[in-house]
Amino acid sequence: MKISLRETAQTLRSAQKIIITAHVNPDGDAIGSSLGLMHFLRGLGKDAQVLIDDDIPATFSVLPGYELIGKPEEGQSITADLLVALDVSLDRIGKAADVVKASVLNIDHHITNDDQAEKLYLDGSCAATAEIIYQIIKEMKGDFTQDTAMCLFTGIATDCGWFRYSNTTPATMRAAADLLACGVEPNIISEALEQKPYARVKGLADAMQHIEVWHDGRAAGVFLDLSTMEALEHADGLIDMVRIIEGVDIAVVLKEKEPDICRVSMRSKGIDVTKVAVNFGGGGHIRAAGCAIKQPFAEAKAALVAAIDAVLEETP
């Protein structure tokens, strides 16, 4: 059931023990919005904890509260007043859905959200879920500590490409400015997130050897099967390298993470890549989407390429 911003604030205000979660394979917005909300709720005297069913990239250790992020375990059972799922539909929160026994509040900015939560606040005009959390705190007339502001700024900045992507709006910039006034140090955040160990840079170089271009140069992708993934020390950040190729309208990275399970990230320069993602149960935004394809590598690759070709045929 969709609810208003005010109703969302009231739901948070009425709960005392709150578990916050986000999607597997978490990004800057998932982590930043989760920690930012946790800091704010703890400031209100609430028992708030973040549980994410995945490993959290060490680059985000710059964020206050990084070390407090927990991971749900098989067989664990947590009773709470509220489970808050951020930046995600409920089918992508992993074991958190089974471990936490609570009513569910879903807060998201993805237009493809499946609206399966008991309560959903969705605002597709926001650049990031962290921008929505900023609005909720304003609605609750709350204060932004430096810790809260650092986390929310990171979520906003990373999801709009450091204010370069088309989802950057005047409201996004005003929110970022307010957070900066609370003591955020953007240089500290950006430098921490930009640093990469040698093994990761080497892994990116090795992975880029698998790049392919097709559909008259309008599509480009890196496709990594399980054996290739196991040989690479790191293969994160590929999509940003593929996206900048001249003439490419849709960029894609497919990784076989487990036998017969492939994770897909897509970016575009204007074409709606959610049209591709929804074919495989995924979602996202017009210019950025993702999905998981539960097929063997060769079949998953063929199906993905065909879906991309179909969307490109629709858009000459």
Measured CA to CA, the distance from residue 136 to residue 33 in angstroms comes to: 11
CATH fold of 198-314, please? Diaminopimelate Epimerase; Chain A, domain 1 (3.10.310)
What CATH number belongs to 5-194?
3.90.1640.10
What tokens does 254 get? 């497919």
Task: Report the chain's C-alpha Rg in angstroms.
Answer: 19
Whole-Å CA distances, 222 to 211, 243, 254, 286: 4, 11, 6, 20
- The vertex-144 CA angle with 158 and 90, nearest 5°, equals 55
Name the residue with tokens 């962290």.
130
Question: CA 214 to CA 312: how far, in whole Å?
Answer: 11
Task: Say what the pLDDT of residue 111 is.
Answer: 87
- Total length of the chain: 316
Q: Which residues contact 116 (CB under 8 A, 6 or more apart)?
A: 89, 90, 91, 106
pLDDT at position 175: 98
Q: What is the location of CATH 3.10.310.30 in the chain?
A: 198-314
For the chain, residues classed under CATH 3.90.1640.10 are 5-194
Decide the pairing of beta strands 17-22 and 78-86.
parallel
| pLDDT (tens place) for every residue of the chain, 316 residues total | 999 999 999 999 999 999 999 998 899 999 999 999 999 999 999 999 999 999 998 889 999 999 999 999 988 999 999 999 999 999 889 999 999 999 999 999 998 898 999 999 999 999 999 999 999 999 999 999 999 999 999 999 999 999 998 899 999 999 999 999 999 999 999 999 988 888 888 888 999 999 999 999 999 999 999 999 988 877 777 898 999 999 999 999 999 989 999 999 999 988 999 999 999 988 888 888 999 999 999 999 999 999 999 999 998 7
If one counts every other C-beta atom within 10 angstroms of the C-beta of residue 21, the result is 31
Residue with tokens 């430098």: 191
d(CA 292, CA 256): 9
